[in-house]
Chain A
Amino acid sequence: MADTLTGRTSEAPDAVPEFPMPRQSRCPFDPPPSLKDLQREGPLAKVRLWDGSESWLVTRYAEQRALLGDPRVSADTDRPGYPTKASPEAGEGKLSFIMMDDPEHARLRRMVTAPFAVKKVEALRPAVQRIVDGLIDDLLAGPAPVDLVDAFALPIPSLVICELLGVPYEEHDFFQEHTRTMVRTTATPEERGAASREVAGYLAGVVGKRIAEPRGDLLSSIAGRVTAGELTHQQATEMALLLLIAGHETTANMIALGTLALLQHPDQLALLRESDDPRLVASAVEELLRYLHITHLGRRRAVTEDIEIAGRLIKAGEGVIMVNEIGNRDPEAFADPDRLDITRDARRHVAFGFGVHQCLGQPLARMELQVVYGTLYKRIPTLKLAGDLRDVRFKTDAFIYGVHELPVSW
């Protein structure tokens, strides 16, 4: 047993800890304490998953980066040993290139990289600023308390990704409801499958329309690949689904959970509110990405060839989970890692993953978060949580961590 190396010889196989571990309700921003214990013991540990299978948990930053950048680990969910979060992974079928390896992964990914280049994203900043200002105007004109998730955090990325893809925003109730089901761990496989089929069916229709009548949006350019014979209609739909989901849940949760974290750290919030330096805003975004780590269930891979790392042998056919939320709290990588400090240089965090699968939308996510964090607290300086922190429902039941609602007033 692997644990004999750490001296815990009494460890029987049934004592392998289960992953994910429960968080402690009194520190909603911190990873589960038992996860930190595992990290202290060493960079690798065996854990048991929902289906009884075992997988390696990679807890330290350096080993996480090394394995995420290693071509001997595969993102293909059909590979033996792949540690699935639930069955089936995300409804039916593969979520496009994030579940593929190179060269096919690179071929498909490169088809959609263009609009996410830093300068293209920068050109959208004024439009995002207008969206954010408009939503704040509405907040200030409306009643309080109000749910910040519903009235602010979710509409921003939703409007932006719909505009970029060319999906009519008027349909957002429909696909937001279904994408929520798709990322809810407590949904049954049937429910997730049905939700995914609904959205996929809808997107297949939009792709079909763009094949017939292209516009200047990203879906039209994906549709153009179908016309050119480089993608099937089904592959194009999966790609659209991936971009739509990835664009929604992640950024929305970073806005809401980030706001809650700042409200709980008034000194940090004051620094941000009182500064006009865009560099401080950018650094606050990186630090909150590091500190919160909303993709809390880790980056998962199947090992295709034996790998020796940290004095251990990970065998072909075994699964590895790079649990980034704890990698970002590794004291070897970040000094005093459990402290939220928006002035630190946190750019090396692994919140967007690492290696060839590192988040494609990260320049867009960064820009949206910079506009939000640089605007909301200045325009509503008295923003506060309405009610008690103990009543906030955290998304321990979702693949993406965050809050279900965030009641605020001012």
Chain B
Amino acid sequence: MKVELEADKCVASGQCVLAAMDVFDQDDDGIAVLLDERPADENLDGVREAVAICPAAAIRLVDQ
């Protein structure tokens, strides 16, 4: 599974960081940064939560 982040869309809500700290961080302006494109299985639930709660629909989890 691969995580895709469209940082252009990000509105810096920080929801992804709260849902999956090991996968997402924020830059100096609060915009999301992807730390790990291919997260380990134990982090996938957090990523799914991030996909569901990201208000800007900026995160996707793709099967590949």
Most buried by B among A117, A352, A363: A117
Set of chain A residues within 8 Å of B35, measured between Cβ atoms: none
Contact B28 A114 (CB under 8 A): yes
Contact with A along B19-46 (1 / 0, CB 8 A): 1000001101111000000000000000
Question: Please, how many angstroms separate the alpha-carbon atoms of A109 and B15 in the complex?
Answer: 17
Contact B17 A348 (CB under 8 A): no
Contact B57 A69 (CB under 8 A): yes
Contact B56 A116 (CB under 8 A): no
- Interface: B18 (CB within 8 A): yes
Set of chain B residues within 8 Å of A354, measured between Cβ atoms: 55
- Interface: A110 (CB within 8 A): yes
Set of chain A residues within 8 Å of B1, measured between Cβ atoms: none
Taking Cβ atoms with an 8 Å cutoff, the residues of B that contact A are: 11-15, 17-19, 25-26, 28-31, 49, 52-53, 55-57
Contact B53 A116 (CB under 8 A): no
Set of chain B residues within 8 Å of A113, measured between Cβ atoms: 11-12, 29-31
Contact B49 A114 (CB under 8 A): no
> B56's closest neighbor in chain A, by CB?
A356
Residue from A109, A348, A357, A360 in contact with B53 in the complex, judged by beta carbons closer than 8 Å: A348
Set of chain B residues within 8 Å of A40, measured between Cβ atoms: none
Interface residues of A in 38-62 (CB under 8 A from B): none
Set of chain B residues within 8 Å of A358, measured between Cβ atoms: 11, 13, 55-56
Question: Please, how many angstroms separate the alpha-carbon atoms of A76 and B55 in the complex?
Answer: 19
Contact A109 B49 (CB under 8 A): no
Residue from B12, B15, B18, B28 in contact with A360 in the complex, judged by beta carbons closer than 8 Å: B12
With contacts A113-B31, A118-B14 known, is A69 near B55, CB below 8 A?
yes
Set of chain A residues within 8 Å of B17, measured between Cβ atoms: 117-119
Set of chain A residues within 8 Å of B28, measured between Cβ atoms: 114, 117
Set of chain A residues within 8 Å of B56, measured between Cβ atoms: 69, 355-356, 358
Contact B53 A362 (CB under 8 A): no
Contact with B along A105-126 (1 / 0, CB 8 A): 0100110011011111100000
Question: Please, how many angstroms separate the alpha-carbon atoms of A352 and B11 in the complex?
Answer: 13
Question: Please, how many angstroms separate the alpha-carbon atoms of A374 and B6 in the complex?
Answer: 35
Question: Please, how many angstroms separate the alpha-carbon atoms of A37 and B48 in the complex?
Answer: 33
Task: Identify the 10 closest CB pairs spanning chains A and B, nearest first.
Answer: A358-B55, A113-B30, A113-B12, A117-B30, A118-B14, A117-B26, A118-B17, A363-B14, A354-B55, A356-B11
Set of chain B residues within 8 Å of A69, measured between Cβ atoms: 55-57
With contacts A113-B29, A113-B31 known, is A353 near B55, CB below 8 A?
yes
- Distance in angstroms from B60 CB to nearest chain A CB is 14
Most buried by A among B17, B25, B30, B57: B30
> B12's closest neighbor in chain A, by CB?
A113
26 A–B pairs (Cβ distance < 8 Å), ordered by A: A69-B55, A69-B57, A110-B31, A113-B12, A114-B28, A114-B29, A114-B30, A116-B14, A116-B30, A117-B14, A117-B28, A119-B17, A119-B25, A119-B26, A347-B19, A354-B55, A355-B55, A355-B56, A356-B11, A356-B56, A357-B11, A358-B11, A359-B13, A360-B11, A360-B12, A360-B13
Interface residues of A in 325-370 (CB under 8 A from B): 347-348, 352-360, 362-363, 366
Question: Please, how many angstroms separate the alpha-carbon atoms of A121 and B15 in the complex?
Answer: 13
Residue from B11, B12, B53 in contact with A117 in the complex, judged by beta carbons closer than 8 Å: B12
Question: Please, how many angstroms separate the alpha-carbon atoms of A362 and B62 in the complex?
Answer: 28
Set of chain B residues within 8 Å of A121, measured between Cβ atoms: 14
- Distance in angstroms from B42 CB to nearest chain A CB is 16
- Distance in angstroms from A283 CB to nearest chain B CB is 12
Question: Please, how many angstroms separate the alpha-carbon atoms of A360 and B29 in the complex?
Answer: 12
> A359's closest neighbor in chain B, by CB?
B13
> A356's closest neighbor in chain B, by CB?
B11
19 more contacts with CB within 8 A, not counting A119-B17, A356-B55, A362-B15, are A69-B56, A106-B11, A109-B11, A109-B12, A110-B29, A113-B11, A114-B28, A116-B12, A116-B30, A117-B12, A117-B30, A120-B30, A347-B53, A348-B53, A355-B56, A358-B56, A360-B13, A363-B18, A366-B18
